[in-house]
Each structure stands twice: as structure tokens, then as C-alpha cells.
Structure 1
Amino acid sequence: MITYRYYESGDEKDILDLWNKSLWKDPITAKRFRNLVLLDANFDPEGMRLAFVGNKLVGCVYAVRRLLPMFGTDLEPDNGWVPFFFVDEDYRKTGVGSQLMEEAAIFLKRNGRKHMFFASYAPNYIMPGIDEDAYPEAYQFLKMQGFTKLYSPIAMDRNIIDFKISKDIEELIKQRETEGYSFSLAKDKDLYEVIQFANIKFNPDWGRAIREGILQGLPMEHILVARNGNKVVGFCIFGGYEGVPDRFGPFGVDPDEQGKGLGKILLNICLKQMKAESLHGAWFLWTGEKSSAGYLYKKTGFEITRTFHVMKKDI
């Protein structure tokens, strides 16, 4: 007999064990689960739906809605997210996943949500969306549950052992510097402006990543700042998410300043800085393949390593 309930303290080991058996490409440690889920300000035990056969956990679907604004007072009151789900291999296509997903939708509807996304939740997303290549059954399951694909971000990696800034980039840096631009490692005086720049020009999650990264020990030399005169016009970071040193990003240039190669400069200087810290690679989870950033990464030697689908269901 299958029984269903929400998370209770003490369930962590069972959840981790089934997670690591099911999500082979995205394993997790107890520390990461604690930091990304249990300590998330938006965590609500009632959103974590569990299925058991006796004392054996056979399925989990996690739903979350925003209790703490990412920026200002915006709680995104219409939106809820499913950052992850998994079902024991022996209990797939038995209705367990469908029941858990229905319970997750009821939880979100009860809290006033109209839309359910997989899996574009910030700040603590596990993956941007479903990896169809790694989890084809899960992708088909989401479609059968009424989710539709919105877009497909990509993850990219670059080995930097052979990385070297080209003469062309060096000349471009000199040219921009003669025009009043500067590219430097961050100092205390930069922090407020860079965080505000990230929040307003791009995504509040980026500003949060900078602030929380530094509070958790992110070295200042992992943050690069571009200025036009005194005005911040771009930045990039490495090691900002979960303290993983070779994880690149966030990274952005003021849209009003694009077309001048500032992103190209920041990316190249950042890769040089990463190599100087004895890192052998750079990677990130989320960009658009056909975006300007996607093209820049490809030109700089990054290769696509994963493709995800962000999916949405109206509830």
C-alpha cells in the first residue's frame, strides 16, 4: 500500500538516498541539500510531497513558492516552482509521480498560485530545467502532466589549461582604456554599485549571488568590474555559487554599452584570473544558445555540455 504525506524532520536520509539513485547526473550531498532546500527562506515542509511503501520512500516532488522577495517587495504571487522530483525506478508509471505532482499543484493553488514552473526557481535552483537526454522518462512525464516547454537554456564548459589572451584582445583592452574604460578586481568601494547594477540591469538573483557570495567568503579577486569613467558598465564573477571555484558567473554588460567588446574583455580577463588560481576549467549552467552571451562563449572556446527545458503548467 502506498501512503502519501509531506516532509517531516528525519526524512532527509531517505530523500538523499532516493535522489542519488534516481538523478544520476545531478547527485547531491547532505550539505548541499541542507543549504539549497532546508535553509532556503522559502522552504515549506508542506510543499515537499513524499510517497512511501511501508517505511520505504518511493517518490518525492518538491514545490515551493516565494515567501521572501528576491528584490523589493515582489513575491511573484502568481508563480510556484517544482525544483526537483524523482520516483523509485520500480514505481514509475504506477501513478506515484502523478499523485505527487497533483499534491504539489494543490499545495501551490491553495497558496494562490496560478502557474507552476519546472525548474526555473531562484535563488536555489538545482538545475535550470529538465535534461531530456539524461532523463527522457521524466521529460515525457512532465509533458503528460500538462507542462509545456518555454525555452531551452544550455550549460557550457571550457578547459582553460591552454587558455591565453590573444593579441587582438590585448589591443582591444588598450583601445578601450584610452577611451576611459577600466577593468579591475573589485574593492569595497565597488560593492554597492555593482550589486545595484546587477539587480537593476539584469536579475535580482545576480545581486544576491554577489552579496551572499562575499558574506560566505567569496574572495574579492573573484569579482571583475568594468567602468566607463566612474560608472559601472559590467562585471563578472567566478566561484560565486555554492563556493564552487570553477563555476563561472554571473556575468553582464550594460545593454547601452554593448557592441564595444566589453563582455569579451571581461570574459577573457576572468578566465586568465581563474587560470592564475590554478583552476583547470570554467563552467556554468544557464545561458541562451542563440543569445549574444551564448555566441561569445562559443567564440571563446566554451562547448555545450547539457541542454535543459524550462517548462510551465497553468494550474
Structure 2
Amino acid sequence: MSHAVRAAEPAESAGVARAALTLDAGEAADLVARLSRPPAERRWTALATDGGVVMASMSGKDPQVGHLDLLAVHPEAQGEGRGRALVRAAEEWLREQGARQARFAGNPPCYAWPGIDVRYTAAACLAESLGYERYHVAWNMTADLLGADLSVDGDLARLEKSGVVVRAAGADRDRVAAFVEEHWNERWAWEAVQATGLHYAERDGRILGFAAWGARPAWFGPMGTAPDARGLGLGRVLLRRCLAEQRAAGQAGAQIGWVGPLRFYSRAVGARAERVFWLYRRDLA
């Protein structure tokens, strides 16, 4: 069965995503909106069939790699080849943009997920049936905000004795973003600017570390401490400050995305490894 593919309308994409992405239904519309407002240098498209939508993008960082950022088919329209048609259409658009490889993998800094959540089994099966190879695994941790100890008063008093002050970024957000870009990269800096909440630590006017939340809807991250400031306990304080804000905003839990140091988050807030993502790629002929 053939399915006509056309440009997708935002409301249509959000509706299909909300129905299909059962693990992320509450933020599906926000994800579509986020992917529709990427950094200025990014090229992207949204394509649809009746009952299905795909979003794809190209990043200026690697002009030969394209990303399939979101694929959703309404439950009532599944099993009829719409997902396959949408992936093929997205691949054709990526070829036109100069891509030599397509990936089911997050395109930082503006992405939906690191890859395909293993619980979206049909999507993983589709990717593999189309010749995509699994090349990496990523995971998220979940912090229970209702039960976690997020207190920082003792830590703040200890830090103040050594001249370190922890603040919430306001008008100085661009200054924090400049620190993030200097020590990490422009993708994290973009997320720092876009984040709902941004906290940082400084001493004598010099920023030492930062943490953000809400750059990806409802998620925590990114965060980092300058190399010469590690060992002061800044990460734990900045993490807890952000999670406390998320709790105050009405969240019962927070996703810590694309995690590296499992032990740190487990010890700092009792976070547990939960969501696992498979990253796929395929060379485009």
C-alpha cells in the first residue's frame, strides 16, 4: 500500500505524537514545538501521511549526517506501512540536504530523545527492517522528586565560608552561557539559554559550575563544574537546587537525560537508571 507524503502541519504533528507516543504523551506537543524551533543554523523538516508524522534535521556540525528526530504513527493507523513510507521520505529529504548517513539518534542540543526508547519496540523493529544498525546505547535516570532529599542549606553555608556563592541566573544568563561554551560546547550553551531554570556557582566573580533544567521539557541537564573547581561538592548543590525548582513547578519526577556518571546521581538524589535508548544509523546510497 502506498501512502502520499506531504508537509506536516504543527497541530497535526502534535495530535499524532500525543496519540502514538504513549510513554511521552504528556509532553508530545511540547516536543513537536521544540523540534520546530531549533538553533538558527539547523535545517529541518516535518512530513506527514494521514495518521503519521516524521521530523528530520541536519546540523551544521556534521553536514554529512542527518537525523530522524521524531517518528509517530497513530495507533489506529499502524501496521499499514505508514512508518516505512515516512522514514523513506525523510531519508530522501536528508539526501537532498547532502547527508550521507541517517541516524535515529538525538541531534543536540535540540532533540526529543537520545535514540529509540527500547520500549517503543515497533520503532526499533522498523529501523532494523530498513537496514539500520544499532551502534550505541544511552540511558536516562529518574529522580523521584516527591521522596528525594533536596536540602542544601548545610552545603550552602559550607561553601560560603570558602567564598563560593550559588545563584539562580537572571539577567546574567548570557554570562553563564559564555562560561558553558568556553568549558564545554555551544550545544550546552544553547541549552543553558533555553532552559527554564539555570543555577550557577561563583567565587570572586568567576563562575565555577552550572546546572540547568527544562531545556528539554521536564528534563534535568546539562550540568558541569570547571576542572579546577571539582571536589567542592558544587554538583550536588546545583543538582538539588534545580530539582527543587522542578518539584515546586509541579513535577513529581525528573528525567536526567543522556547520563554519564550513574554513581553521582544515585548518591546525590537517589536517582535510578530507567529509560534505555538504542541509537541506530544507516548509510544513504
After TM superposition, the score normalised by the length of structure 2 is 0.81
Could you tell me whether the CA contact under 8 Å between 1:157 and 1:305 is conserved in 2? no
User: Which residue number in structure 1 is paired with residue 95 of structure 2?
Assistant: 109
* Partner SS for 2:123: helix
Shift of 1:104: 1.7
Distance verdict in 2 for CA 1:235–1:114, change over 3 Å: same
Could you tell me whether the CA contact under 8 Å between 1:16 and 1:28 is conserved in 2? no
User: Which residue number in structure 2 is paired with residue 137 of structure 1?
Assistant: 122
Distance verdict in 2 for CA 1:285–1:223, change over 3 Å: closer
Letter of the 1:255 counterpart: P
Shift of 1:31: 5.7
Shift of 1:286: 1.0
User: Which residue number in structure 1 is paired with residue 54 of structure 2?
Assistant: 61
Letter of the 2:128 counterpart: K
Letter of the 1:6 counterpart: R
Distance verdict in 2 for CA 1:5–1:281, change over 3 Å: closer
- Runs of 4+ aligned structure 1 residues displaced above 6 Å come to none
Shift of 1:17: 3.7
Pairing 1:265–2:251 present: no
Identify the match of residue 175 of structure 2 among 188, 193, 202: 193
- How many positions carry a matched residue from both structures? 280
Sequence identity percentage? 21
Aligned residue runs from structure 1 range 215-226, under 5 A: 218=196, 222-226=197-201
Could you tell me whether the CA contact under 8 Å between 2:212 and 2:221 is conserved in 1? yes
Distance verdict in 2 for CA 1:200–1:76, change over 3 Å: farther
Distance verdict in 2 for CA 1:6–1:187, change over 3 Å: closer
* Partner SS for 1:265: helix
* Partner SS for 2:117: coil
Identify the match of residue 271 of structure 2 among 302, 305, 309: 302
Pairing 1:3–2:3 present: yes
Distance verdict in 2 for CA 1:159–1:258, change over 3 Å: same
CA distance in 2, matches of 1:4, 1:119: 25
Consecutive unaligned residues in structure 1, runs of 5 or more:
52-56, 67-73
Distance verdict in 2 for CA 1:2–1:13, change over 3 Å: farther
CA distance in 1, matches of 2:216, 2:140: 17
Shift of 1:120: 0.5
* Partner SS for 2:127: helix
Q: Deviations over 1:169-221 (max 9, x none)?
A: 82x55444433333233353x433310122232242332233244xxxx5xxx
User: Which residue number in structure 2 is paired with residue 157 of structure 1?
Assistant: 143
Shift of 1:157: 2.4
CA distance in 2, matches of 1:303, 1:112: 40
Q: Deviations over 1:53-82 (max 9, x none)?
A: xxxx1433322213xxxxxxx542122110
* Partner SS for 1:112: coil
After TM superposition, the score normalised by the length of structure 1 is 0.74
Shift of 1:84: 1.1
Two-structure CA RMSD over aligned residues (Å): 3.2
CA distance in 2, matches of 1:231, 1:29: 36
User: Which residue number in structure 1 is paired with residue 166 of structure 2?
Assistant: 183
Could you tell me whether the CA contact under 8 Å between 1:183 and 1:225 is conserved in 2? yes
Distance verdict in 2 for CA 1:63–1:269, change over 3 Å: closer
Shift of 1:108: 1.0
Pairing 1:20–2:18 present: yes
User: Which residue number in structure 2 is paired with residue 69 of structure 1?
Assistant: none
Q: Deviations over 1:113-172 (max 9, x none)?
A: 122222302343222221112x11211221222232312221412224552537xx82x5
